[in-house]
């Protein structure tokens, strides 16, 4: 930026000064009248600068700079050579920003001129009141110089007005850009919020679908377990029927053996009576008794075996009955669980239908 400003200053210093506007020489009477007016010119210039400050509200330093420039010009023209305190160099140390807008670039030279005038005005403010009083009493040599300074003053005012208009235009452009930026930020926030809401809705629906699938799988597993328990119960019931038939057969066999035992006891009594009557019969009966005792021992062994077997079958039957009761309770519990799961599934299906209906209604509403 500094290099660009230095190049601009070199270009301006290299340019030849603008030719002065030719003005015809006035008559003596008119010249005398205007020379009297020139004595009061600094006060007029000051009054003009004050009126411009009251109308615009800006550019106070510009008007002061112009007054200082006019006072300096007066001192240099009238005195033949500029004073030591009134010399002002036309160099500017202020840096001006390069504008990107196409219609702003041509106004850079005017802004630089205004900044140079402001620097001259600030330099002139340091002068003492005595120098200002002396310079106010000086007059121009000719009307030509007065007109040149008047034109320069008007040019400076025009440049200041152009700079103010340029500043207003830049401020309006900045406000428009800020408004568009706010609109863009609001739109981005709205789109981000809508995306976040959509993601949360999809996540909730996905979680509901997963839970419903889990409940369905749990219900299927419960149905399979119930079916397996029912099959096991049928098998156990058939086995219990077989055990009951075996127990009934064993009871019938025991009854027959008891009848046979009573019959054998009666026969033994008959044989004993017959033995009392005859020894031969006794001997023969003794042999038969021995045979019968052997058979009775075998029958007793068989009877004890059957009794133990019957007791075991009774114990087994009791266990089967208890197990049957336990299975009945477990079956009732499983049926209750099944009913609860079915009711829960029905409620979940109703809720899912309601959610689907709500989703369809929300999708039908335009955004």
Identify the pLDDT of residue 113. Answer: 52
Taking 70 as the pLDDT cut, the residues of the chain under it are: 1-142, 274-275, 281-282, 362-367
pLDDT tens sequence across 308-333: 888 888 898 898 889 889 989 999 99
Domain boundaries, position 141: 2-97+104-173
Residues 125 and 213 in one domain: no
Residue 54 located in a structural domain: yes
Is the Cα dihedral 286, 291, 294, 299 positive or negative? negative
- Alpha-carbon dihedral of residues 239, 243, 245, 249, nearest 10 degrees? 160
Residues 81 and 34 in one domain: yes
Q: Where among 135, 158, 173 does a domain terminate?
A: 173
Number of domains into which the chain is organized: 2
Residue 26 located in a structural domain: yes
Identify the pLDDT of residue 228. Answer: 92
Q: Where among 123, 155, 173 does a domain terminate?
A: 173
CA distance 288 to 280: 12
How far are the Cα atoms of 130, 245, 249, 293, 320 from residue 306, in angstroms, in the given order?
153, 15, 11, 19, 20
CB–CB of 45/67 below 8 Å? yes
Tokens encoding 349: 């299906």
Residues 86 and 210 in one domain: no
CA distance 35 to 28: 10
Residues 78 and 216 in one domain: no
With b for 16 or more beta-carbon neighbours within 10 A and e for fewer, the 292-303 pattern comes to beeebeebeeeb
Residues 214 and 352 in one domain: yes
Residues 126 and 231 in one domain: no
Residue 245 located in a structural domain: yes
Nearest to 114 by CA among 70, 68, 74, 66: 66
CA distance 150 to 48: 11
Residues 154 and 302 in one domain: no
Identify the pLDDT of residue 22. Answer: 41
CA distance 111 to 117: 10
* DSSP-based three-state secondary structure for 21: coil
Residue 242 located in a structural domain: yes
| Block residue for tokens 């290299």 | 14
Residues 6+ apart with CB under 8 A from 124: 64, 65, 67, 68, 69, 71, 72, 88
What string of DSSP letters covers 92-123?
-----PPP-STTTGGGHHHHHHHHHHHHHHHH
C-alpha 363: how far from chain center: 22
Residues 148 and 259 in one domain: no
Residue 189 located in a structural domain: no
Residues 214 and 118 in one domain: no
Identify the pLDDT of residue 104. Answer: 40
* DSSP-based three-state secondary structure for 263: helix
Identify the pLDDT of residue 177. Answer: 93
CA distance 293 to 43: 170
Residues 222 and 276 in one domain: yes
CA distance 121 to 62: 7
Residue 367 located in a structural domain: no
CB–CB of 318/247 below 8 Å? no
Identify the pLDDT of residue 141. Answer: 61
Q: Where among 131, 155, 173 does a domain terminate?
A: 173
Residue 303 located in a structural domain: yes
Tokens encoding 188: 């981005």
Identify the pLDDT of residue 25. Answer: 41
- Residue 126 DSSP one-character state: T
Nearest to 159 by CA among 209, 228, 110: 110
Residue 179 located in a structural domain: no
Q: Counting every residue, how long is the chain? A: 367
Alpha helices in the chain (DSSP H): 2-14, 28-39, 41-56, 60-79, 108-125, 129-137, 143-277, 279-364
Residues 272 and 339 in one domain: yes
Residues 14 and 159 in one domain: yes
C-alpha 153: how far from chain center: 61
CA distance 152 to 168: 24
Identify the pLDDT of residue 94. Answer: 41
């Amino acid at each position: 930026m500094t290099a660009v400003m230095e190049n601009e200053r070199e270009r301006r210093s290299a340019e030849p000064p603008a030719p002065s506007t030719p003005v015809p020489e006035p008559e003596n009477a008119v010249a005398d009248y205007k020379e009297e007016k020139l004595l009061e010119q600094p006060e007029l210039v000051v009054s003009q600068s004050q009126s411009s400050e009251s109308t615009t509200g800006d550019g106070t330093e510009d008007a002061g700079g112009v007054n200082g420039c006019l006072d300096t010009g007066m001192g240099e023209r009238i005195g033949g050579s500029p004073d030591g305190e009134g010399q002002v160099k036309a160099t500017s140390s202020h840096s001006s920003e390069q504008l990107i807008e196409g219609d702003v670039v041509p106004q850079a030279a005017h802004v630089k001129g205004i900044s140079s005038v402001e620097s001259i005005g600030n330099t002139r403010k340091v002068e003492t009141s005595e120098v200002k009083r002396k310079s106010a009493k000086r007059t121009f040599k000719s009307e030509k110089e007065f007109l040149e300074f008047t034109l320069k003053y008007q040019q400076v005012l025009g440049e200041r007005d152009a700079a103010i208009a340029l500043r207003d235009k830049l401020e309006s452009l900045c406000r428009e850009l800020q408004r568009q930026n706010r609109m863009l930020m609001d739109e981005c926030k709205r789109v981000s919020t809508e995306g976040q809401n959509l993601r949360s809705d999809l996540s909730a629906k996905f979680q509901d679908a997963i839970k419903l699938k889990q409940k369905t799988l749990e219900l299927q597993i419960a149905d399979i377990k119930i079916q397996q328990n029912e099959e096991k119960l049928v098998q156990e019931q058939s086995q219990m029927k077989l055990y009951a038939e075996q127990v009934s057969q064993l009871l019938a066999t025991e009854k027959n053996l008891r009848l046979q035992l009573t019959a054998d006891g009666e026969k033994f009594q008959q044989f004993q009576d017959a033995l009392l009557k005859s020894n031969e019969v006794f001997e023969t009966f003794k042999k038969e008794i021995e045979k019968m005792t052997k058979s009775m021992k075998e029958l007793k062994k068989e009877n004890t075996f059957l009794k133990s077997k019957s007791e075991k079958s009774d114990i087994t039957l009791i266990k089967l009955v208890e197990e049957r009761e336990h299975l009945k309770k477990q079956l009732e519990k499983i049926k209750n669980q099944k009913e609860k799961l079915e009711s829960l599934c029905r409620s979940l299906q109703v809720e899912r239908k309601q959610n689907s209906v709500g989703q369809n209604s929300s999708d039908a509403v335009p955004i």
